[in-house]
Amino acid sequence: MNGAAAGETFHVKVELIAWAATFVGGDGSDRKIFEVEAGPGDSVRSVLKRLSGGFPALDEALWDRGSGELGEHIEVAVNDALLGIRHTLGTPVKPGDEILLMGQFMGG
Amino acid sequence: MRVLKIIPERCTGCMRCELACSYEQTGTFQPSKAVIRVSSFEGHTSYAPYTCPQCAEAWCLTACPVEAIGISPAGAKEVMDDICVGCKLCTIACPYGTVFYDPDSHKAFKCDLCGGKPACATVCPTQAILYVEAGTEDWLGSFAAERALPGALAGVR
Amino acid sequence: MADTPYAYAGRILRVDLSTGRIWADPFPGADRRRWIGGAGLGAKILWEEVPAHAGWDHPDNRLVLATGPLAGLPVWGTGGLTVVTRGALTNGATSTQANGFFGANLKFCGYDAIVFQGQSPKWVYLHVTDDKVELRDASSLLGKDTWETQQALEAELRLTGHRLSVYSIGPAGEKLARFAAIQGDYGHVASKNGCGAVMGKKRVKAVAIERGAKGVAAAHPHALLATSEEMAHSLKTDPSTSSLYQYGTLPGVRNLHGMGALPIRNYTTNVWPEGVDVKLWEAKSLREGFDHRGHQCSACGMHHCHMQVIRSGPHKGELVDEPEYEGWAGAGWAIGATDPQQVSWLNTRLDRACLDVNEFGWLCGWVMECQQKGYITDKDLGFRLEWGDVEGAGRLIQMICRREGMGDLLAEGVKIASEKIGGKAAECAIYTMKGESPRGHDHRSRWEEMLDTCTASSGTIDSGPAVFPTEFGLPARISPQDPVAVARQVGTLRGRRHFEDSLGACIFTTRVPIDLLCRSLAAATGWDFRRDEAIRAGRRAVTLMRAFNLRCGIGPGIEKPSKRYGSTPVDGPIAGVSIMDQWEKLLDTWYETTGYDRASGRPLPETLRALGLEDVIEPLWGAGARA
């Protein structure tokens, strides 16, 4: 059991690579790493909302205006697995979790 | 006056300037009638747009035997179609090669700065063509004047 | 030129290679609106003129080099070429694109398309300058690669730069390699389904299009210029395209690796090998790791196509074209090569030989894996080819181009080669049962692309990656492993891409809201043209290609991946997830969404009727179906 005890806060690492980093002030060639504070009851969604709350460009790129769900521009992986495999947006986060954001699939 | 300043290092050879220019000149997109042209050095991926620098010397205007070339409110040397007789003297006189002859209309044609809103500068996606305040002194002017002096070539073997 | 319609030249150049006859057919107004150009026009010609018995190498096959209404106009990326033919890998319909200046130059000569038929008795090239069109002897060009061919024609015609657009085949096309491409204007490749082999079979070495003196008129030129600026603004600023604007497809390597979609070592892993300098594979490093210059297509402002000079290694100083993402993948990751300088060199060798970089990646990666596992011995191949051996891969290109030793078999593509060798070797080859090459990603994590590739009718993907899915009433994002959502997305988006490929514009610069595309087409042509008509036109084109394939006997029985292509990843972000467990569900939903018959693959009569393809109902469904 590696969940947090009640009331305890911890950090979730959120890494933005490649183009996704431009939405938080990067130039698209480097990674940006944030330690986002989380606690019991927090999910992948609430952690991402907390981060995007501080970056309007990320907020616009990450979320779909109409539905409030993820938009089409950024891909999300949790603990090295794409969202949808072992996690959804609603999955609770726990200490040690790592979220990766990257630019969308383009073809070409 | 404001003239077209060209920065060849920025040009990627997309030729959009020629399209927009020809539209201003003819009403259709017809780059063969453009008065800005892009010189390509393909093996070096190098491109150099060139057009009339509106030189102060105004060789074309001086050469024209029927005074068909005047100076427009924008400061451009402009061919007046109704006066031009198509003798091509201006195309020969221009040291920059930027006065052209249209075999269809039998008239000379050249950059008129689109009346002060040059289309090439507007549409260039890489800002390789700027419309800016700049001098129009003609560096060829003094060169030519020197050459024209009697005996100037005496020392040349 | 008095009767020249807006946005079109209004004429189609026809060339019968068997007889040497050259003429122009009108491209009448009703046809223009119905088929637009490019892929649509090509599909129409294929359906009407290529009978079932005329395979890819038959003189009655057509090779259509078409452009479209936006070509030659100031919308970004409008030098567009769409090649439509019956291709050598699937022996079915093909629609494959390239850019450069082909479309613009051809329009200024007064033609919307070139259609080759027949087979020339000797090697020729087609020279077009305004109304002067000639088949010329190409014997001096034989054996030259595509860049050497263009240089030779530049010298012969005394033209440089974009005043001459040359699309040609290299030695691989002359030798009918089944994955030969048609390459043009230094680095632009119509690469899919062996269209270069068709050109080779017809003995056409090159087409050389001088920029003509004619004009292209727009119905509402000011609106067109304004719309093209709006499109440019969208490309620069929209989150979905700003990276494309700045770096083309270079960011793909990092992104796709993160999502398990970078194909590494013939799909044997989804994780970078130890010791790879990841920093070198960031977009910015891929660009700035080379001396580089923009080499844009007609009227384009994207910082996409570049030329670069190799900075280090055995090929230091060579001028190459900057690889697309798929070049970094096919000439790099798929074969285990991890040095960008070397990969870039190999990518250009492929362009110059005229080989499709996707198929080469699958083929070369397969040979490497087979060597490692002992399925292909050093003696079989003639040398040892290890993972990541770029010089060895270059040697493989030469063998294929000369059909030398095992190169003769490899020139048939990885499907035929692996089936021939058989045994365990057959199980590790990446291909579709229909024969077309998958694009350069690991589709085991991009289900939509695997489904799209396997069901496609154009010799490559039909729908492509989603562009603004909400415009079609789809959710902005779907769960990538939800078979119903995936298939619904692929089926619903069907048509957009073939509409884009009918315009004479680039697939990357048309990545803007579809209403904006419609407005630019309306400004160019004067038509009242809306979204519904655009989608119908695109679906009409791709549905007709499907009808063509069915007539040629290519049906739904082979709409599936090879064993390796559909295998389950063993590591990385999608480890253990199997697409084949959901394959039937994917197909069921896709067929339901597209309005095609699940059992026979045929578009249903009501689907055909809705697309205005009533004429196709009887050939597909028999005489009674109309009632």
CATH number of the domain where residue B80 is located: 3.30.70.20
User: Which residue in chain A has the smallest CA separation from C305?
Assistant: A108
Mean per-residue pLDDT, B132-148:
70
Mean per-residue pLDDT, C407-422:
98
Would you kindly state where each structural domain of chain C is located, as residue ranges? 11-210, 253-427, 447-626
* pLDDT of residue C524 exceeding 50: yes
Q: For C111-132, how does the pLDDT look when each residue is reduced to its tens digit (9 = 90+)?
A: 999 999 999 999 999 999 999 9
What are A38's strand-pairing partners? Answer: A10
- When mean pLDDT is compared across C62-66, C195-199, C284-288, the lowest value belongs to C284-288
What are C137's strand-pairing partners? Answer: C124
Chain C contact for A35 (CB, 8 A cutoff):
no
* In a domain? residue A63: yes
Q: Would you place residue C626 in the very low, low, confident or very high pLDDT band (cuts 50, 70, 90)? A: low
Q: Would you place residue B152 in the very low, low, confident or very high pLDDT band (cuts 50, 70, 90)? A: low
Q: What percent of chain C has pLDDT over 70?
A: 99
Domain CATH code at residue A39: 3.10.20.30
Mean per-residue pLDDT, A72-77:
87
* pLDDT of residue C1 exceeding 50: no
Q: For C209-248, how does the pLDDT look when each residue is reduced to its tens digit (9 = 90+)?
A: 999 999 999 999 999 999 999 999 999 998 888 889 999 9
Residue C494's pLDDT is 97
- Integer Cα distance of C93 and B110 in angstroms: 48
* In a domain? residue B120: yes
Residue C477's pLDDT is 86
Q: CATH for C447-626, among 1.10.599.10, 1.10.287.110, 3.40.50.300, 3.40.50.20?
A: 1.10.599.10
Pick from C72, C215, C293: which is nearest to B45 by CB? C293
Residue B89's pLDDT is 97
Q: Are C431 and C562 in contact (CB under 8 A)?
A: yes
Across the interface, whether the CB atoms of B30 and C232 are under 8 A apart is answered no
Mean per-residue pLDDT, C432-451:
96
Q: Are A103 and C509 in contact (CB under 8 A)?
A: no
Pick from B14, B28, B42: which is nearest to C216 by CB? B28
* pLDDT of residue B157 exceeding 50: no
* pLDDT of residue A2 exceeding 80: no
Q: If you write DSSP's letter for every residue of C339-358 in order, what string do you get?
A: -HHHHHHHHHHHHHHTB-HH
Q: For C470-495, how does the pLDDT look when each residue is reduced to its tens digit (9 = 90+)?
A: 999 999 888 888 999 999 999 999 99
Mean per-residue pLDDT, C150-171:
95
Q: Are C245 and C303 in contact (CB under 8 A)?
A: yes
Residue B86's pLDDT is 96
> What's the structural domain count of chain B?
1
Check residue A68 and report its DSSP letter: S
Chain C contact for A16 (CB, 8 A cutoff):
no
Residues of A in contact with C240 (CB under 8 A): 72-73, 104
Residue A1's pLDDT is 42
Mean per-residue pLDDT, C283-293:
94
Chain C contact for A105 (CB, 8 A cutoff):
yes
- In this structure, chain A runs to a length of 108
Chain A contact for C555 (CB, 8 A cutoff):
no
- d(CA B16, nearest CA chain C) in Å: 4
Q: For A7-29, how does the pLDDT look when each residue is reduced to its tens digit (9 = 90+)?
A: 689 999 999 987 888 899 887 77
* In a domain? residue B132: yes
The strands making up A32-38's β-sheet, listed across from edge to edge, are A32-38, A10-16, A98-103, A74-78, A81-82
Q: Which helix (H) or strand (E) holds A103?
A: strand A98-103
Mean per-residue pLDDT, C141-155:
97
> What's the structural domain count of chain A?
1
Residue C627's pLDDT is 44
The set of residues, in sequence order, having a beta carbon less than 8 Å from that of A77 and lying 6+ positions away, is A83, A99, A100, A102, C258, C259, C573
Q: Would you place residue B96 in the very low, low, confident or very high pLDDT band (cuts 50, 70, 90)? A: very high
Select the more confidently predicted residue: B148 or C508. Answer: C508
Mutation target to probe the A interface, by most A beta carbons within 10 A, among C282, C284, C490, C501 is C282
Q: For C69-112, how does the pLDDT look when each residue is reduced to its tens digit (9 = 90+)?
A: 999 999 999 999 999 999 999 999 999 999 999 999 999 999 99
CA distances from C448 to A65, A75, C490, C590 (A): 24, 15, 6, 10
Across the interface, whether the CB atoms of C249 and A61 are under 8 A apart is answered no
Residue B139's pLDDT is 61
Q: What percent of chain C has pLDDT over 90?
A: 93
* pLDDT of residue C352 exceeding 50: yes
Q: Could you list the residue range(s) of the whole structural domain that residue A43 is in?
A: 10-103
pLDDT averaged over every residue in chain C: 96
Q: Would you place residue A65 in the very low, low, confident or very high pLDDT band (cuts 50, 70, 90)? A: confident
Residue A30's pLDDT is 75
Residues of C in contact with B33 (CB under 8 A): 215
User: Which residue in chain C has the smallest CA separation from B25?
Assistant: C215
Chains B and A touch each other (3 or more Cβ pairs < 8 A)? no
Across the interface, whether the CB atoms of A107 and C256 are under 8 A apart is answered no
Q: CATH for C253-427, among 3.20.20.70, 3.50.30.60, 3.30.470.20, 1.10.569.10?
A: 1.10.569.10
Q: Could you list the residue range(s) of the whole structural domain that residue B26 is in?
A: 2-138
Across the interface, whether the CB atoms of A81 and C574 are under 8 A apart is answered yes
* In a domain? residue B143: no
Across the interface, whether the CB atoms of C160 and B13 are under 8 A apart is answered no
Q: For C182-194, how does the pLDDT look when each residue is reduced to its tens digit (9 = 90+)?
A: 999 999 999 999 9
Chains B and C touch each other (3 or more Cβ pairs < 8 A)? yes
Chain C contact for A34 (CB, 8 A cutoff):
no
User: Which residue in chain C has the smallest CA separation from B11?
Assistant: C294
- d(CA A3, nearest CA chain C) in Å: 23
Residue C9 half-sphere exposure toward CB, CA atoms < 13 A: 31
Residues of C in contact with A77 (CB under 8 A): 258-259, 573
**C11-210 is classed CATH 3.60.9.10:** yes
* In a domain? residue B148: no
Mean per-residue pLDDT, B33-57:
90
Across the interface, whether the CB atoms of B45 and C161 are under 8 A apart is answered no
CA nearest to C380, candidates C412, C431, C421, C414: C421
Mean per-residue pLDDT, B77-93:
96
Residue C488's pLDDT is 98
* pLDDT of residue C49 exceeding 80: yes
CA distances from B48 to B8, B13, B110, C215, C477 (A): 5, 8, 18, 23, 45
What are B99's strand-pairing partners? Answer: B110
- When mean pLDDT is compared across B60-64, B81-85, B144-148, C379-383, the lowest value belongs to B144-148
- Integer Cα distance of B111 and B117 in angstroms: 12
Mutation target to probe the C interface, by most C beta carbons within 10 A, among B42, B100, B105, B123 is B42
**Contacting A residues, span 80-99, partner chain C, CB-CB under 8 Å:** 80-85, 88
Residue C85's pLDDT is 98
